[in-house]
Copies of this chain bind each other. A is one copy, B any other.
Amino acid sequence: MERFNIEESLKEHGIRRTPFRIELLTLFAEAKHALSHHDITEKLKPGQDRVTIYRALDAFVEKGLIHKVPDVHGAIAKYALCSHDCSSEKHEDDHIHFVCHKCEQTYCMEDIHIPKISLPKGYQKDHSDFIIHGTCESCSNS
């Protein structure tokens, strides 16, 4: 994830630069993997209101700043920064997600795009999710 300007980014996406939202977006900018609501509460100072976090996340997703990472098999929802120029109109997070079953983190594989699949007659694709489960690099080496 290339460095980017937090406040600039909020402004560009039409989100007010409140201290809390700046802090939240900073978390995402610094994260090496997707964050769940729970991850976020742990990284923020204790006492931060849960609801405010939910609403900020919703706003970020809505405005194209982050994307909701597909959670499979009942896992808790996670979120990660959008890589490209997503907006309210269109998200373009066409990459594969990797879920490590050891460290339980979810990684955006920005460089690996989801392969095209030919569907049976009559089925029309809108978008797709591809999640690979396994062991991540750092967990493999330990």
Mark each residue of chain A from 124 to 140: 1 if its CB lies under 8 Å from any CB of chain B, else 0: 11111111111111101
Interface size range of chain A in the complex: 35 or more
Copies in the complex: 2
Query: Quick one: which of A92-142 are within 8 Å of B by CB?
Result: 96, 98, 101, 109, 112, 115, 117, 119-138, 140-141
The answer to whether B126 touches A101, judged by C-beta atoms less than 8 angstroms apart, is yes
The answer to whether B137 touches A128, judged by C-beta atoms less than 8 angstroms apart, is no
Question: Is A51 in contact with chain B by the CB < 8 A criterion?
Answer: no
Question: Is A77 in contact with chain B by the CB < 8 A criterion?
Answer: yes
13 contacts between A and B (CB under 8 A): A68-B74, A71-B72, A109-B119, A112-B117, A115-B117, A117-B132, A122-B136, A122-B140, A123-B134, A123-B136, A123-B140, A129-B129, A130-B131
